[in-house]
Amino acid sequence: MNTNVKITVLSDNTVGTRDLRGEHGLAFWVETTCNCLLFDTGQGLVLPDNARALSLDLDAVDTIVLSHGHNDHTGGLASILREAAGPVTVHAHPDALLPKYRQKAAGVNEISMPAECRAAIFDGRCQFTSSRRSVEVVPGIRTTGEIPRRHREEAITESFCRDPEGRETDLLLDDQALFMETAQGTVVLLGCTHSGIINTLDHVQELTGGKSVHAVIGGMHLRSATDNRMAWTIRELRRFKISILAPMHCTGQKAIAALWAAFPNTCQACGVGALFEF
């Protein structure tokens, strides 16, 4: 169990104060008694400036965990590894390194991890660990590994693919979350939750032997959710009896409004600069 865990939002679509910068990306600074960890690295456009403004020393990072291989979560990786003062371990699902594209009406766009970031993983700057299973990345903090897709309501509806022609579907099996057990209960950090937030929380409870979920923070990928899916998601979320719910990044404004309406005493404002202590 971790005590005195501090989680600071370093990259998000929104900001809390005027001296910070936003981007379409996500990155969390996680500080424990013994470790400084980054969960995702945003696009890489704002991470150094926001860290300086928040008096956080990126040189102290010893562990980086990637939620999946999209560029808005991995773009800052190369710069962090260049500046690291000591050895850094990078954890990811093996599929995070594969080519990634998204197909829209206007065409197919590449959204892979930037080439310089993939190169930095293998040029001796870090120890790279890839796994499809749950891994303890530092004492008391684990990845979920691959998340079982049990609920058909959370099927991926957007067109993600592995080739520029859009022929090979990307099931985004690299999607994973991070969780830690604290004195208040389990704290879950989400990247984009392409596997579905309910699938993710069910899996976390399986991995923790059914322990209560205290806080859920991060991207919930509900921006394209239908009214029926939102209603189902809200019903399912109630069974976890979450104390802190902080939707951000890819959750979508309409979905965030629905979650605030459903959980007015549970939802908390987020954005760059937000601090959570457990």
C-beta separation of 247 from 270 below 8 A: yes
Residue 198: name the closest of 224, 170, 230, 228 by CA: 230
What integer pLDDT is reported at residue 227 of this predicted model? Answer: 96
Three-state secondary structure call for residue 142? strand
**Whole-angstrom distance between the N-terminal and C-terminal Cα of the chain?**
11
Note whether 40 and 26 are within 8 A (CB).
yes
Is position 224 within any domain? yes
Write down the pLDDT at residue 124: 87
Phi-psi region of 214 (alpha: psi -120 to 50; beta: other; left: phi over 0): alpha
Query: Which residues of the chain fall short of a pLDDT of 70?
Result: 3
Q: What is the pLDDT of residue 3?
A: 67
Residue 72 half-sphere exposure toward CB, CA atoms < 13 A: 17
Provide the angle, in degrees to the nearest 10, between the axes of the packed helices 197-207 and 227-238.
Answer: 20
At a CB cut-off of 8 Å and minimum separation 6, what does 13 contact? 22, 23, 24, 25, 248, 249, 271
pLDDT at 106: 84
What distance in Å separates the CA atoms of residue 63 and residue 59, rounded to the nearest whole number? 11
Residue 166 lies in a domain: yes
Q: For residue 121, is it within any domain?
A: yes
Neighbour-count burial for 1-22, b at 16+ CB within 10 Å, e otherwise: ebeebebbbbbbbbbbeeebeb
Give residue 117's Cα distance to chain centre: 17
Does residue 255 form part of some domain?
Answer: yes
What CATH number is attached to the domain comprising 136? 3.60.15.10
In a domain, 91, yes or no: yes
Q: Are 123 and 162 in contact (CB under 8 A)?
A: no
153 is in which domain, residue-wise? 6-277
* Number of domains the chain contains: 1
Q: Tell me if 93 is assigned to some domain.
A: yes
Using CB atoms within 10 Å of the CB of residue 30, give its burial: 0 to 12 exposed, 13 to 18 middle, 19+ buried: buried
Q: Considering the domain boundaries, does residue 1 fall inside one?
A: no
